[in-house]
Amino acid sequence: MRSQRQRLAYILLAPLALFIGALTLYPTAVTTVEAFFREYSLVNNHNFVGLKNFHDAFSTPAIRQSFVNTGIYVLSGTVLSVVLGIAFALLLRQRSRWRAPLLALVVLPWALPPVVEALLWSRIYDPTFGPLNGVLKSIGLISHNQVWLGSNRWEALVLIELVQVWQTTPLCVLLILAALQLIPSELYEAGAVDGASAWHGFRYITLPLLRPGITIAMVAAITASLNIFDQPYILTGDASASASVGVQTYLVSFQNLNFGEGYALSLIMTLATAAISLLVLRLVYRRVEF
Amino acid sequence: MPLVSRRPSGRTRRVARRWGRWIALVLVVIWSLFPLYWGLSTSLMSSGAADSLPVHYYPHPLYLSNYGQLLNLQHANLGTLPYQLRQSLLNSTIESVGTTVLTVFVAIFAAYAFARLEFRFKRIILVTTIATLLLPAYATLLPLYKLMTSWNLVNTYLGIILTNTSGFLPLAIWILYNYFQGLPKELEEAAFIDGARPLEALARVILPLSLPGIAAAAAVTFLFSWSQFLFPLILTTDLRSEPATVVIAALYGPRLVAFSLMAAAGMLAIAVPAALALLLNRYIVSGLTAGATK
């Protein structure tokens, strides 16, 4: 009976093993190994070259720049998504008949393809017909139309990331809201009896108990922004001023057909994603008990 | 006496706080919907009206011809553009439905094994599966391109569906695993006493109770598939399997098509996921927060 069930378990897991093994773990292993070999997709010579692919990649100024760009994407994206996520979740915390429809609207940007979202935002940033210039001019913040995605590199990076923040924030809201709803209201009542203000309640009750939710939201925002591709690809194409490491990986591999460097960049992205996620889990996560 | 004099100020503060909350909620809704509104509004203008100053904040009069031309309801001078868009929407639909069916099917069996059966290496297999959620697309991008090329699966639905499924299986399993674990074991035990085998218990007892969990896993998988861009970009080169995201990116790239027409194309490409997200919102919320509270 027991061995029969054990056999059944392995039969049920066989399709999963096939998918994860053949299409996830094996390719990841290939990326890891191939990063250290010379490989052009056209010329099929294949020999160990050590760190040469990494060295070649980093001696390209556009690729070095893409690492700085990605750093800006990650920093601005994580801060904005998590702060907005906390703010929106606090606003949506109260149960009412409006909450479910509001939540449905808030989640909407998460559910749509980033390619189309970037297309729509490109119009908002349009120097001539875009509503961003229109609104800023009408409230007097700027006197004439700005070119948002061209003139100032740092500004362009944050505005491109904002398109991704628009998509990632709903996920952060849901994750933080889920943690928020676990906090028993008695804690706040006890705090009120002790004379705690709303700010104190947030600072000393809500925030510490939200740590598990905030951690997962941070990991979600970091992985999204670290691997950003669709938004810069649509908004600024192959312009290296705002290309992410992801965009450069694509260009190096499929435009320059230099798979060796493509593997090296892929491996860096993979290791960075895993390392930063685990670091955040270690540093920010605290198990909370109620 | 001080208590009495404080009363009105306490009330005004409460009223002010309530109004502040409502204003903040309105801002949240504007933030969430404005880009969509702007795209919809522009898609309902002629290119002349859309590209004229001062900026139009709403379409007047309503101009439906962008949609008419793209959907081939009226004659258009757009070459193969309407055909490209319609074929790519069909491709997106086939690939997303195919991915969803295959993913949910595989995930149900795997999640049942993890939730209800005892076997060796269970924990390590489960942890490995869930840990692959942390792998970015780039971990597998180039090797999958080579594999799909050598298997002759470039430009096929199957190539996209297999790639998508390998990527979205872990989350679907995680959602269903959490759902199955929340079901009381007594129900199956009653079925076992009646002589049912594990698979019969799964089909007759667990699955009928798990429709919300299955809906959550299916909705999330479908939306992920519909949004895919990077993998289809390298795994497709023509309309045999190019999804809408790839075709829209290719049309928009050279900036040759009038924006009002691009906006209409964009609206057609988000119609299905937007409708799904609004209709199945409850399940999407539960799917995305599965296990998040542990």
Where do the structural domains in chain B lie, given as residue ranges? 2-70, 81-288
Burial of B148 (C-beta count, 10 Å sphere; 0-12/13-18/19+): buried
- Asked if B135 lies within 8 A of A100 by C-beta distance, the reply is no
B-chain CB neighbours of A25 within 8 Å are 128, 132
Query: Looking at the predicted structure, is the pLDDT value of residue B154 above 80?
Result: yes
Q: What is the mean pLDDT of residues B220-244?
A: 96
Closest approach of A164 to chain B, Cα-based (Å)? 12
Closest approach of A120 to chain B, Cα-based (Å)? 6
Residue B17: pLDDT band (50, 70, 90) is confident
pLDDT digits (tens, 9 = 90+) for A60-104: 999 999 999 999 999 999 999 999 999 999 999 888 888 889 999
Query: Are B263 and B39 within 8 A, CB to CB?
Result: yes
pLDDT digits (tens, 9 = 90+) for A180-217: 988 888 888 887 777 777 788 888 888 888 888 999 99
What is the domain class of B81-288 according to CATH?
mainly alpha
Q: Please compute, for residue A38, the number of CA atoms within 13 A of its CA located in the half-sphere on the CB side.
A: 9
This prediction has a pTM of 0.93
Query: Are B217 and B103 within 8 A, CB to CB?
Result: yes
Mean pLDDT, rounded, of chain B = 89
Chain A residue with CA closest to B223: the answer is A111
Q: Look at B130 and A194; give whichever has higher pLDDT.
A: B130
Among A160-169, B68-77, B96-105, B269-278, whose mean pLDDT is lowest?
Answer: B68-77
Chain B residue with CA closest to A41: the answer is B146
Q: What is the mean pLDDT of residues A120-146?
A: 86
Nearest Cβ partner for B269 among A9, A23, A113: A113
pLDDT digits (tens, 9 = 90+) for A20-43: 999 999 999 999 998 998 766 555
pLDDT digits (tens, 9 = 90+) for A216-260: 999 999 999 999 999 999 999 888 889 999 999 999 999 988 888
Residue with tokens 């093993």: A17
Q: Look at A289 and B104; give whichever has higher pLDDT.
A: B104
pLDDT digits (tens, 9 = 90+) for A7-20: 888 999 999 999 99
Instruction: State both tokens at A109.
Output: 């940007």
- Asked if B138 lies within 8 A of A88 by C-beta distance, the reply is no
pLDDT digits (tens, 9 = 90+) for A148-181: 887 788 989 999 999 999 999 999 999 999 989 8
Cα separation, A162 vs A242, whole angstroms: 13
Task: Give the per-residue pLDDT at A194.
Answer: 77
Chain B within 8 Å of A129 (Cβ-Cβ)?
A: yes
- Cis, peptide link before residue A184, omega less than 30° from 0: no
Task: Write phi, then psi, for A48 (nearest 5 degrees).
Answer: -65, 130
Task: Give the per-residue pLDDT at B3.
Answer: 47
Task: Give the per-residue pLDDT at A43.
Answer: 56
Q: Quick one: which of B178, B167, B152 has its CA closest to B291?
A: B178
Interior angle at CA A111, CA A267 and CA B100, nearest 5: 75
Q: Quick one: which of A79, A87, A86, A88 has its CA closest to A106?
A: A88
Q: Quick one: which of A260, A232, A1 has its CA closest to A118?
A: A232
pLDDT digits (tens, 9 = 90+) for B106-128: 999 999 999 988 888 899 999 99
Closest approach of A39 to chain B, Cα-based (Å)? 12
Query: Are A168 and A224 within 8 A, CB to CB?
Result: yes
Rg over CA atoms, chain A: 23
Domain range annotation of chain A? 24-284
Task: Give the per-residue pLDDT at B4.
Answer: 47
Chain B residue with CA closest to A219: the answer is B134
Q: Look at B292 and A241; give whichever has higher pLDDT.
A: A241
C-alpha distances out from residue B154 to B147, B231, B258, Å: 9, 11, 31
Task: Give the per-residue pLDDT at A272.
Answer: 95
Task: Write phi, then psi, for A37 (nearest 5 degrees).
Answer: -120, 150
Chain A residue with CA closest to B110: the answer is A13
Q: What share of chain B is helix, strand, coil (3-state, %, to 5)?
A: 75, 0, 25
Instruction: State both tokens at A71.
Output: 């750093």
Query: Looking at the predicted structure, is the pLDDT value of residue B1 above 80?
Result: no
Residue type at B48? Answer: G
Chain A within 8 Å of B187 (Cβ-Cβ)?
A: no
Q: Classify the phi-psi angles of B152: left when phi > 0, otherwise alpha if psi is within -120 to 50, otherwise beta.
A: left
Query: Are B82 and B71 within 8 A, CB to CB?
Result: yes
Query: Looking at the predicted structure, is the pLDDT value of residue B5 above 50?
Result: no
- The set of residues, in sequence order, having a beta carbon less than 8 Å from that of A283 and lying 6+ positions away, is none
Task: Give the per-residue pLDDT at A97.
Answer: 86
Q: Quick one: which of B102, B124, B122 has its CA closest to B217?
A: B102
A-chain CB neighbours of B164 within 8 Å are none
pLDDT > 70 fraction of chain B, expressed in percent and rounded:
95
- The set of residues, in sequence order, having a beta carbon less than 8 Å from that of B201 and lying 6+ positions away, is B188, B191, B192
Nearest Cβ partner for B277 among A15, A16, A107: A107
Query: Are B246 and B88 within 8 A, CB to CB?
Result: yes
- Asked if B138 lies within 8 A of A266 by C-beta distance, the reply is yes
Chain A residue with CA closest to B43: the answer is A120
Task: Give the per-residue pLDDT at A44.
Answer: 60
Query: Are A150 and A126 within 8 A, CB to CB?
Result: no
Chain A within 8 Å of B118 (Cβ-Cβ)?
A: yes
Neighbour-count burial for A148-165, b at 16+ CB within 10 Å, e otherwise: bbeeebeebbbbbbbbbb
Q: Look at A125 and B55; give whichever has higher pLDDT.
A: A125
Query: Are A9 and B119 within 8 A, CB to CB?
Result: yes
Chain B within 8 Å of A150 (Cβ-Cβ)?
A: no
Domain A24-284 adopts which CATH fold? Answer: MetI-like fold (1.10.3720)
Closest approach of B122 to chain A, Cα-based (Å)? 9
- Cis, peptide link before residue B54, omega less than 30° from 0: yes
- The set of residues, in sequence order, having a beta carbon less than 8 Å from that of B155 and lying 6+ positions away, is B235, B236, B237, B238, B240, B241
Beta bridge partners of A37: A48
Query: Looking at the predicted structure, is the pLDDT value of residue A137 above 70?
Result: yes
Q: Quick one: which of A179, A247, A181, A187 has its CA closest to A218?
A: A179
